[in-house]
Chain A
């Protein structure tokens, strides 16, 4: 874990209200794994007070990328930063995807901004795995496939690709998935992950999901980010430390 003042190398709007920010963060770039996140202080004042967590979207040499949706005060401030300004970054944090397992095809399932961690993962997986990406959004503008390949899209309103959500899309393409040694890597809204859990258990697919929770610290000291264990009713995992990526079987969504 490092705490560094990272200069912004570039910040661009990918889509309406979706930003991509490139940061010079050599220590983090060197040690981060796909699925891990960083916790960013978006202002030097107490407004907002807490850091904001973002997945590391990609890594290039000494640079890391984050992709974010402009939602509230913090992300608005971040979106208005300029090249050359520095922001304080804490990371890398959490446990990322486990992708050295015994599988041939990596199936990416991303809903909306759930696309964020996958450019980096796809880059690493491309070395020796086949990749298939299912990407969903509300409308064609919300289908974010940054850094992905072999993308099959879906939209809630049918404005692009299959009409329905990502999990329905995967069900619709079951023939592409069956009889393959595959592993699913997913990130998206909780209802999507919940449906995906059912889908992967039913079809006996290995599946890892990246989860979210409101956080104060991001590194395990506040106990603010519990997610219930599916094995032990008395146990919570911490999203920031034990996750954010979990085997879908281990957690209750």
Chain B
């Protein structure tokens, strides 16, 4: 049997395969570890952490839509201190790269979180969430402001030696400008996409089904949007891309790589089949063997237009 190399590089970050689990869809790893061996993954992106704990939005937070789901979690998380105290010790038990996702309501808060976590060896990189659609302050507000995203990238880079990935929103006008500013300010990679803003009404009560009124759309329904955004970045900015959005199978992973992704993240699929990521990794290997692909990473941005 031929040897297949599934490993990928995102700047200085080396992953043994391109399959990461997306922020907000694996918690801090402990629940999903009952189903899979985390060490087999390319990496895990933890639930967005903010300086202080966040209770999140009132229910209903989840709504299924055609081929997707809306969520309005509102960044419910344990906060920085509790993350360090009770979540990092668990993650230390694994060799898998941990990417810590940070969300914040102010530029200083991003910096403060990154500075505090910089000394944590268990963390391999940061993913900066400037694109959560479900909180009033921060999140999307920054996600729509090129200058703010630039400032955040630069200031976070200044306080950490770890790779910094900036997670971009599909909701703004021009994703290329955002990817450019991330590169300019020294960001190591971008991840795209976060969820798309959506809503839904009960036709009998005429009220929105989600308490927060709007939520973020994820799942297979958003895959074509994600691919188009990734392609746009790939054609215009020289920066590694982590592709996210509606991945349901190994075929989707290949498609995301062809469109420009160096690695990918699996989100909503974890809720439906928490073992899917591991199956996908083994299917990617089968695919490479079958089609004589020695290095999976050679697929990145291999589109023929």
Contact = CB atoms under 8 A, between A and B. Distances in A.
Q: Do A and B bind each other?
A: yes
Interface of A: 1, 3, 41, 46-51, 90, 213-228, 234-236, 241
A222 B71 contact: yes
A50 B61 contact: no
B26 A49 contact: no
A234 B53 CA distance: 9
Contact of A222 (B73, B220, B273): B73
24 contacts: A1-B34, A46-B220, A49-B67, A49-B69, A49-B220, A50-B64, A50-B271, A213-B60, A214-B60, A214-B61, A216-B71, A216-B268, A216-B271, A217-B274, A220-B27, A221-B26, A221-B271, A223-B24, A224-B61, A226-B58, A226-B76, A235-B55, A236-B56, A236-B76
Interface residues of B, number: 36
Interface of B (DSSP majority class) = loop
B254 interface: no
B150 to A, nearest CB: 30
Q: Which one of B56, B64, B68, B274 has the greatest number of beta carbons of chain A within 10 Å?
A: B64
A227 B59 contact: yes
B168 to A, nearest CB: 22
A46 B248 contact: yes
Given A217-B274, A222-B24, A236-B56, 19 more contacts: A46-B248, A49-B67, A49-B219, A50-B271, A90-B274, A213-B60, A216-B62, A216-B271, A218-B271, A220-B27, A222-B25, A222-B62, A222-B271, A224-B61, A225-B59, A225-B62, A226-B59, A226-B76, A236-B55
A51 B269 CA distance: 11
A137 B9 CA distance: 60
Contacts of A235: 55
B66 interface: yes
Interface in B49-83: 53, 55-56, 58-64, 66-69, 71, 73, 76
A234 B55 contact: yes
Contacts of B66: 47
Nearest to B73: A223
Given A221-B25, A222-B25, A236-B76, A3 B274 contact: yes
A48 B47 CA distance: 25
B268 A220 contact: no
B275 interface: yes
Nearest to A239: B59
Interface string B1-45: 000000000000000000000001111000110110000000000
B86 to A, nearest CB: 14
Given A3-B274, A49-B68, A49-B219, A221 B31 contact: yes
A213 B69 contact: no
B270 interface: yes
Contacts of A3: 35, 273-275
A221 B59 CA distance: 16
A219 B31 contact: yes
A224 B68 contact: no
A241 B27 CA distance: 13
Contacts of A51: 271-272
Nearest to A214: B62
Contacts of B27: 220-221, 223
A221 B32 contact: yes
Q: Which one of A46, A90, A223 has the greatest number of beta carbons of chain B within 10 Å?
A: A223
A235 B61 CA distance: 16
A221 B76 CA distance: 11
A49 B71 contact: no
Contacts of B63: 214
A224 B60 CA distance: 8
A106 B56 CA distance: 36
